[in-house]
Amino acid sequence: MTEHSTEANSRAALPAALRQPDSRNVQLLLESRIPARIAWVDGDGHPQVAPMWFEWDGAELLISTFAGSRKLEDLNDGAKVAATIDTADFPYRSVRISGPVTLESYGGLTDSYRRAAKRYLGESAANAWCTMLEGKPQVLIRLQPTRASASDMSTMPFVANAPGQT
């Protein structure tokens, strides 16, 4: 099987909200500098949420965290995680993704983290940031979407006709 057909098969398995051609709303959010809010359940059964830099590779949401972080005490391969990427200003836009994760350990910064740092900080600041963190072990969390949905409140009739909305 070729790499292209494998990629096509993984895209076909994606929830409809994430398949190409995705909506402009979803595309903008997945390319944005808005952190993903990652949610999971801890060992005591309590919900946890953390804002995290992310990268969307077209098939998975990639989140890098530093080895020894609290969330890694609760997560293991197959754990179910949810993420939302949403705007802070009204009318709200969001994409919500959930599914199982796999964890990959690295002896230093992941390539995904470096790319996300450039997106969030700009190239110069990201290079300085990553140089400062060089050699710090990370874990790459791969969220494989089994469910996804998106919303754009600006397209809803009751919002589009509201006073102050153009």
Domain 3-153 belongs to what architecture?
Roll (2.30)
Higher per-residue confidence, 151 vs 13? 151
- State the pLDDT at residue 24: 85
Give strand pairing partners of 86.
94
Name the residue ranges covered by the structural domains of the chain. Answer: 3-153
**For range 20-30, the mean pLDDT:** 83
Closest CA to 121 of 38, 26, 53: 53
Where does the pLDDT of residue 9 fall: very low under 50, low under 70, confident under 90, or very high at 90 and above? Answer: very low
Six-digit token pair at 18?
């994430």
- Residue 107 phi, psi (nearest 5): -80, -5
Report percent pLDDT > 90 for the chain: 74
- State the pLDDT at residue 5: 32
- State the pLDDT at residue 164: 62
Q: Which residues contact 15 (CB under 8 A, 6 or more apart)?
A: 97, 145, 146, 147, 148, 149
Where does the pLDDT of residue 116 fall: very low under 50, low under 70, confident under 90, or very high at 90 and above? Answer: very high
Inter-helix orientation angle 111-121/123-133, to 10°: 140
Element containing residue 52 per DSSP (H, E): strand 47-52
**Is 33:117 a contact under the CB 8 Å cutoff?**
no
Q: CA dist 157 to 5, 23, 161, Å? A: 40, 18, 6
Where does the pLDDT of residue 160 fall: very low under 50, low under 70, confident under 90, or very high at 90 and above? Answer: low
**For range 122-147, the mean pLDDT:** 98
**For range 6-29, the mean pLDDT:** 73
